[in-house]
Structure formats: C-alpha cells, structure tokens
Amino acid sequence: MPTQRARTALFLIESRTAHLVARSRQAMDWQLSERAVQDQDLAFIEAFAETKDPPLRPSIQDLEHHVAEWADLIPENLGVKAALAHLLGEKYRFTPGMILHICQSLALNDPAVQRAYQRQYREAIEAIYTAHPSAVERLSWAWARLGSSL
C-alpha cells in the first residue's frame, strides 16, 4: 500500500511542479497571448484529470526549487515517505547535497524514515543517491542554483 500511495503522491507532486514551472516560463515570455496561456493551463488540467503525465516533465532541480509549493502533498506516513524516496531515486539522479529541501520535506534524515526504508527495500536509504553525478548533472544543478538566486 505505501508504494501505491507514494506513486499517487509523486504524480501529484510532479504535476503541481510542472504547472509551476510552466507558469514561471509564461511569466518570462511577454509575447505569449492570453489565449496561449489559457491553452497551456487547460493542457495541465486535462492531463491531471486523465491521470496522464503533465505536458512538461519537471526535473529534479524543479522539484527541489518548488518543494515549498508541494510539500503539503506528502503524507505523514513513514512507509509512504520511504516509498516516495525510493521512487525519486529510481526516476532521478541526485546526491544528498543536491536535494536538501526534498530531504527535509521527506524527513530522510529521520531514523524512523530510514528504518521504514530498510524494512521495505532491504537496503539503506542511501541507495537512492547517486555516488558520482555526471558533468552534465553538475552543470544542470549549478544552472538551477544560479536561476534560483536570480
């Protein structure tokens, strides 16, 4: 059950983040017409209603940047938090230092969440992290940090 709830939570998190990313891009594109903005919003609503992937796939950097806007979607259940961490580790590549806000929101440093992860997956929670990010991944994170600071 925790895995299914975590899949649902990840879908909601990615959908909300994708919408936020699209909105921020629209705000920077002054040439977009009001109709184009409405069409993009409608595409997100339709994807959500049909439980399809959002029209824009958020990156792990986007998830980290917008964690404050989606943290309320995380259930308090330790097993679900552990399963959500596992799903993130399967889908994205990151080190612990790259996702500080996500770690905090999921309480990944909490021994109770770590024990729940160990019980569910028979390995330490550190298995979700990549040991050596590629040069492209490091550059992508640097770019995201620069964008956040601006």
pLDDT of residue 135: 75
Where is pLDDT greater, at 96 or 84?
84
Inter-residue contact 103 to 96 (CB < 8 Å): yes
pLDDT in tens, 126-149: 999 998 877 777 777 677 676 665
| Sequence spans of domains, the chain | 2-149
Other Cβ atoms closer than 10 A to 15: 22
Give the pLDDT band (50/70/90) at residue 101: very high
Note the pTM of the prediction, 2 decimals: 0.76
Give DSSP secondary structure letters for 8-60: HHHHHHHHHHHHHHHHHHHHH-TT--HHHHHHHHHHHHHHHHTTPPPSSPPPH
Q: What is the pLDDT of residue 137?
A: 74
pLDDT tens readout for residues 35-84: 555 665 555 555 555 566 656 789 999 999 999 999 999 999 999 999 99
The Cα–Cα gap between 124 and 144 comes to 28
